[in-house]
Each structure stands twice: as C-alpha cells, then as structure tokens.
Chain A
Amino acid sequence: MREVMVIGAGITPFGELWESSLRDLGIQAGLEAIRDAGITSCDIDALFVGNMAAGRLIEQTHIGALIADYAGLAGRNVPTVTIEGADASGAAAFHHAYLSVASGLHECVVVGGAEKMTDLPDADVAEIMSTALDQQWESFFGATLFSMYAMIARRHMHDFGTTKEQLAQVAVKNHAHGALNPQAQFRRPIKLESVLGAAEVADPLGMLDCAPISDGAAAVVLCSADRARKLPGQHVRIAASAQAGDTLSMSSRRSLTAFDASRVAMEKALKLAGRSRTEIHLAEVHDVTTIGEILAIEDLGFVKKGEGGRAAESGMTALSGELPVNTSGGLKARGHPLGATGIAQIIELSAQLTGKAGKRQVKDARVGLAHNVGGCGATAFVHILEAV
C-alpha cells in the first residue's frame, strides 16, 4: 500500500448549533477542508461520511449523498458512502477513506464526520446513543450507554482502588484543555468539587463525567504522498490506520475493566507504523466518560492496567505532562457529535503536528495517536499520524 497524507482540514464549532442543519454543518466543514488543502472540488475522487444516527436523530439516511449533493459533487457523479460504527463512525470513515487512497483506487478523497443531535429532546438522544449497545439483551433491561460505563467504573474502583476524585480529575483536565480550544463546546475550566457535586447520571458517574450532546462536523482531505508533494501547505502522514472488535454485549467479555478492542487495535497500529509507545508525543482518546479515558490510557499501554486513575491524578496526561491526552478538550469538553468525533481527533493531531495548535500546542510534537471507540467497546480504531 502507498503512503497517504492528510492535506487539509475543516471543522465547525461543536455545541448547540440551533441555526445549522446537518447539511449546513457538513458543507461548512467540507468546504473549509478543501480550501485548506488548496485543491478544488474537481480534484475529489470520492467522499466518505461518518455518521451514527441521522436516520433517527433527523430522520435522514443517505447522508453521503446529501452532503455530496450540497457540496456540488453530485454533478460530477462523485461516489460517496456513509459509514457507521456507532460513535466510532468518524474513525471508521477515515479508515476506509485511507484504504481507498492507499490501495491506489483513489488519488484524493474527502472524509467527513457529522452529527446533528439537538433537534430532539435530550432523553430521545440518550435513547438513540444507547442503540449502540445490544438492544435485545442490554438496553431492553434499562441499560444506557453511560450506565454501562458506570459499571466499568465501579469494577475498576473495586479492583484497582481508583477513586471518584481520580475520575473527576479527567474532566477537570479536559475542560482546562477545552478552554484553550476556540472550537470546543465548553471553553471554561471547571473545579474538582463541581464534578464531584454534579447531578448523578449512573453511580459513580455524574453529569460532568459524561460527554455532552453536541452538533458539529469535521472533514479532512486525504491524498497520495506523490500527489501531495506537488501541493503547497503543511501535510501530515498517516503512519497507521487500525481497527479491532469485540463482543457487542459487555457481559460476554473477558474483562469488565478493559476494552480488548482498544488493546488489539493499538498493537496493530504500532506494528503498521513501526513505532513504540514511547515515541508517541500526544494522544486524543475516547473520553465519552471519564472512566473511558482512564481505560484508554491503560488499554493503549501508556500505563499499566489499574494505574490509569493515578496517572490522571499525577498530571501525566495534562498539556504539560509526559503524555498530553486530549489536548482538544476531548469528547468531554470539545463536544461529542458522534460521527464527527473521530475526524475531530484527526484534526487536533494535524494541528498539533504542524505547529498550529495555538495556546494548547504540545512542544515538538512529531507523532500523535487518535483512539475512537464505538458504543461500549465493541469497536475501536487507532490512528497514528506523523509530522513530515
């Protein structure tokens, strides 16, 4: 397979964007990405869109065709497809877009992720997010996505002595990072006491342990390295694109305190990139809940299993720490428009690796990792990007 580069990026603000529809957001991100890449829409061979739930959130399927049409690509009959992998849909779309260029089928493609979540009441949205679980054997009995993560947190606390304060520290850190990101949904720091005192969602997780409901879209342009060399601008190399899976239902898993899909995807990604963990300078991980980030840094092997809580507390994962995690603010503070998240992670890495991350710039960042999980761990993607 040939080398593939990220040559342009576009992202909308994330948040409650009442004035914008899904198509508005998708177009905004896509056009910005194309402009940033310094190409025209005539250069685009295909469009990939990551979307989890527009069929239920706005009663619109066929999102790829919708965005392609309104982006003016339909006139050239550009092929497009929507890719779904729960809230890892963005990374899933990126993976397949990457494969299409790496294989030589396409020269230059746009891959976006978008979700419009605020057109429905919160309770409906929570219900729709829970469709990523096993409907017949989990949701049926009253399970929600956050209640599943709460059960992971409880077991993690039991087995490893992780505390609620350590969980809360993840939210405090990610809000502090979000405060430095102009695109983030939440751009103000929060205190540890606020997280601990927030309304309960599913014990031991409170409202500030959980990612918000968000609207937003993000898009990047990928192209072959050969072609990229002829284009101006700073590019980022895709060193690895890997995926792994696990049982849909959490009850069937080997462990209740680990996502094996994350672990295996990481092993594959490191092998593809020819890198070791110590060579990674920063990571965007799937903190859909605070325990999600703790699990991620363990499963990705940055700390030993059980040490994630203490690592969060020690400041290791803060912007100034040994391994900055979620410099964008993560799902927690940047926002989590399901299908857009995986692409937003890539955009944060691209900004960091090209020295354009402003106040949250990680010094000398050369290698970055993105980790996007679908539902409660049945799907995980790991991408490794490198500065060129």
Chain B
Amino acid sequence: MPGLAGVRFWRETQSRYNLTGNRCGKCGTVYFPPRPLCVTCHRESIGQMQAVNLKGRGEVQTFTLVHEPRRGFELQVPYILAIVRLDEGPSLLGQIVDCAPEQVKIGTRVHSVFRKIGEEGKSGVIHYGYKFVPD
C-alpha cells in the first residue's frame, strides 16, 4: 500500500489480528471495528464499551470477484471480496480465499483465518489480518 505509513496500520493490529470488536454495556450491541461510542446509546455508552473477541464465524451477505484490483493486490487477481455478517451481529468486509469463486454464494457460511493482507513494497512492513474461508 504505497504512500500509507505503517504506523497507521499498527494501531489497528489488535482488532485485525484477533477480530476484537466491542459491545455496548448499555444495550448490548456488538460492533466491529470497535467504536468509541454506541450509535444508539450515544453519550450514555461512554465508558461502557467493552472489548470482545469475535469468533469469526458468519454468513456471506454479498460478494464480488475483483478483476481490476486495488494497488498491491495485482498478483491476487481475480480475488473474492465479500461482506460477511458475523454470528455476533456486526458485518465486515474481507476476502474469501482457498476456494473457487463458484463455491461462494450469498448465504455461504464462512470462518475467519489469519493471513497476510499486503506489504509496503519489497522491504517494507508486512500487514496481516483476517480473511475468510468457506466452512
């Protein structure tokens, strides 16, 4: 990811490596990525947001097979991107890997795996995070 300083990504590693989201202590809504305050309870949720590790299991809401990639993803073309709704509630975007595109449908059950996402040039920082694999 040219031009993006590595430090920006380090800040997010806890959530990217461990699927750490958070839960509003007031209404119980689970968020991923974690939010500083609950979008329903607003001010009342301040100080009540509790970190929670998500299991990484969920269902494909929609997907696409990307042929015109983002910079840094050229070697992966075509790659599958999906929005997955996790069993705990929140939806998130990620790649689906280790399968043929035909295996992915809306409703396909998937689980998260820990993978390399990208790198900053040949000698730069390597970014890791989650991808998904069909169950």
Contact = CB atoms under 8 A, between A and B. Distances in A.
A152 B83 CA distance: 10
Most chain-B CB neighbours within 10 Å: which of A137, A141, A143, A152? A141
B117 A203 contact: no
B67 A200 contact: yes
Nearest to B67: A200
A146 interface: yes
B61 interface: yes
Identify the interface centre among B1, B65, B83: most chain A CB within 10 Å of its CB.
B83
Most buried by B among A146, A152, A203: A203
Contacts of B131: 141
Contact of B9 (A140, A155, A158): A140
A142 interface: yes
Interface in B59-80: 61-71, 73, 76, 78-79
A199 B67 CA distance: 9
A252 B21 CA distance: 13
A291 to B, nearest CB: 11
Interface stretch (A105-113, A122-130, A267-275, A312-320): A122-130
A142 B68 contact: no
Interface of B, helix, strand, loop or mixed by DSSP: strand
Contact of B93 (A123, A138, A199): A138
Contacts of A249: 93
Contacts of A130: 70
Contact of A202 (B1, B8, B64): B64
B111 to A, nearest CB: 16
A252 B95 contact: no
Contacts of B92: 137, 251
A276 interface: no
B64 A150 contact: yes
B125 interface: no
A105 B123 CA distance: 55
Given A151-B81, A154-B63, A142 B106 contact: no
B12 to A, nearest CB: 6
Contacts of B127: 140
Given A123-B71, A251-B91, A158 B62 contact: yes
A365 interface: no
B64 A154 contact: yes
Given A140-B9, A199-B67, A251-B93, A155 B61 contact: yes
A202 B83 contact: no
A20 B113 CA distance: 49
A256 interface: yes
B56 interface: no
Contacts of B73: 142
Contacts of A138: 93
B95 A142 contact: yes
B135 to A, nearest CB: 20
Contact of A136 (B12, B66, B70, B81): B12
Contact of A142 (B4, B63, B79, B91): B79
Interface string B112-134: 00000110000000010101000
Contacts of B65: 200, 202-203
Given A138-B93, A251-B92, A151 B64 contact: yes
A303 interface: no
Given A137-B93, A142-B95, A202-B68, A151 B63 contact: yes
A144 interface: yes
B6 interface: no
A144 B70 contact: yes
B67 A203 contact: yes
B33 A137 contact: yes
A58 interface: no
A141 B129 contact: yes
A135 B82 CA distance: 16
Contacts of A140: 1, 9, 117-118, 127, 129
18 contacts: A138-B93, A140-B1, A140-B9, A142-B95, A142-B117, A143-B70, A144-B70, A147-B64, A147-B81, A151-B62, A151-B64, A152-B62, A154-B63, A154-B106, A155-B61, A158-B62, A202-B64, A251-B93
Q: Report the 6 A-B pairs with minimum CB-CB distance, sorted nearest first.
A: A150-B64, A155-B62, A203-B65, A251-B91, A200-B67, A151-B62
Interface of A: 123-124, 126-127, 130, 135-144, 146-147, 150-152, 154-155, 158, 199-205, 249-252, 256
